[in-house]
């Protein structure tokens, strides 16, 4: 049974060897996850919280999700909930998942959020209004090629690459897809006048990010424990360049804008994420990947623990010696490196 295919893909027998960081503390005000986060160049961090996802634990299943703001320039940063405004936006069904920002030439910041209202998939486009500490909703994007969105990386105000983590929409069929290991999930390029699949054949496509020079796209394949590097072309097509095996379930990818290093939130044992037991909770793991484009990338486990502190890390991002680690449905951690 232990060699059974889903069991192996879930890393179900893996025990976590602890790697501690000295200066970490839980972030007050985050109790229902920080599934994805993004830090702007100026140290402001957007955090998505309150994801409700089929088959995954939620501590507040009846409450809508939120976007939080954190200023890493502060001595002891705290989180603030961003108000959402816009006449056509229904905040009560907001269910945020992956997020990405795009900064215009005039320094206007747009936030693109994968949301699952009624467990469907949309991308919500917001304009960040820093003075008002609010998000102005501009539009909702839906498309038949975006049925099971997980994460996205913005390449323009309304242009992005996005991952679909399943092929089937039906919950019953999705569970079979997961169980049988059908590597049918994909990556889609979206713009208002051109939508197409640009990469496919993934066993649960998850996090997606881009190199600082915008030449390469990084895709996390959760249940194959791999990170794929694709070359991005002028016509938005992607061609596979290489893959990196990680021995852990890789979730969201953040890229350090200065060094180009990848920071990856991971699930060391995926079985514990999909069947939550508070007595034996899922652990957390953060990888730093340096020189991913070379023959010998350097992979370092920066943080790892068995769930005593954080249940189910999904994302880690750094800014000037500080790191944030988020989770699917639990707490978040602030560390000084």
pLDDT tens digit string along 219-245? 999 999 999 999 999 999 999 999 999
* Separation between Cα atoms, residue 327 and residue 300, nearest integer Å: 20
Structural contact between residues 97 and 117, judged by C-beta atoms closer than 8 angstroms: no
The pLDDT of residue 99: 98
Structural contact between residues 161 and 182, judged by C-beta atoms closer than 8 angstroms: no
Q: Looking at residues 291-300, what average pLDDT do you find?
A: 97
Helix (H, G, I), strand (E, B) or coil at 182: coil
The CA angle 291-295-301, to the nearest 5 degrees, is 50
CA 314 to chain centre: 6
Structural contact between residues 325 and 35, judged by C-beta atoms closer than 8 angstroms: no
Burial class (CB in 10 A: 0-12, 13-18, 19+), 244: middle
Quick check: 263 pLDDT over 80?
yes
Angstrom CA distances, 162 to 44, 208, 235, stand at 23, 7, 16
Residues with active-site annotation: 97
Binding residues for Ca(2+): 35-36, 99, 150-151, 206, 251-252
Selection from 81, 56, 82, 120 nearest residue 329 by Cα: 56
The pLDDT of residue 7: 82
The CA angle 269-270-274, to the nearest 5 degrees, is 135
In this prediction the pTM is 0.97
Q: Looking at residues 203-214, what average pLDDT do you find?
A: 98
Structural domains in the chain plus CATH codes: 6-336 (2.120.10.30)
Q: Looking at residues 63-73, what average pLDDT do you find?
A: 98
* Cα-Cα end-to-end distance for the chain: 41
Q: Read off the tokens for 150.
A: 């997980």
Write down the mean pLDDT value for the chain: 96
**Pairing status of strand 216-221 against strand 205-210:** antiparallel
* Separation between Cα atoms, residue 139 and residue 123, nearest integer Å: 8
Helices (H), 112-269: 171-180
* Separation between Cα atoms, residue 294 and residue 163, nearest integer Å: 25
pLDDT, tens digit, 9 for 90 and up, residues 185-202:
999 999 999 999 999 999
The pLDDT of residue 4: 55
Q: Looking at residues 60-84, what average pLDDT do you find?
A: 97
For 274, the enclosing helix (H) or strand (E) is helix 270-274
The pLDDT of residue 33: 98
pLDDT, tens digit, 9 for 90 and up, residues 5-32:
678 899 988 999 999 998 999 999 999 9
- Interacting residues of 42 by C-beta distance below 8 A, sequence separation 6+: 73
Place 3 in a pLDDT band, splitting at 50, 70 and 90: very low
pLDDT, tens digit, 9 for 90 and up, residues 92-133:
999 999 999 999 999 999 999 999 999 999 999 999 999 999
């Amino acid at each position: 049974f232990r060699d059974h295919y889903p069991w192996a893909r879930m890393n179900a027998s893996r025990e976590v060897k602890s790697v501690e960081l000295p200066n970490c503390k839980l972030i007050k005000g985050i109790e229902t996850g920080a599934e994805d986060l993004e830090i702007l160049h100026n140290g402001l961090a957007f955090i998505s919280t309150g994801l409700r996802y089929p088959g995954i634990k939620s501590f507040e299943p009846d409450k809508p999700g939120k976007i939080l703001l954190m200023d890493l320039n502060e001595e002891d940063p705290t989180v603030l909930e961003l108000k959402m405004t816009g006449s056509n936006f229904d905040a009560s069904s907001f269910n945020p998942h992956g997020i990405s920002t795009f900064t215009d030439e005039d320094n206007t910041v747009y936030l693109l959020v994968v949301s699952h209202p009624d467990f469907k998939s949309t991308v919500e486009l917001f304009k960040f209004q820093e003075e008002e500490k609010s998000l102005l909703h501009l539009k909702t994007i839906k498309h038949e090629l975006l049925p099971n969105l997980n994460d996205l990386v913005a390449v323009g105000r309304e242009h992005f690459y996005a991952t679909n983590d399943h092929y089937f929409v039906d919950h019953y069929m999705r569970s079979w897809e997961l169980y049988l290991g059908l590597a049918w999930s994909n990556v889609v390029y979206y713009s208002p006048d051109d939508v197409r699949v640009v990469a496919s054949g993934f066993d649960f496509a998850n996090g997606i990010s881009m190199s600082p020079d915008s030449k390469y796209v990084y895709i996390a394949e959760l249940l194959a424990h791999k990170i794929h590097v694709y070359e991005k072309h002028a016509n938005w097509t992607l061609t596979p360049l290489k893959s990196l095996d990680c021995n852990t379930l890789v979730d969201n990818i953040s890229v350090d804008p200065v060094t180009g290093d990848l920071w990856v939130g991971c699930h060391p044992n995926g079985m514990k994420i999909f069947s939550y037991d508070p007595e034996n909770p899922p652990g957390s793991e953060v990888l730093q990947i340096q020189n991913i484009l070379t023959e010998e990338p350097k992979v370092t486990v920066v943080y790892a623990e068995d769930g005593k502190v954080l249940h189910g890390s999904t994302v880690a991002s750094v800014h000037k010696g500080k790191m944030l680690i988020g989770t699917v449905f639990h707490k978040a951690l602030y560390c000084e490196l």
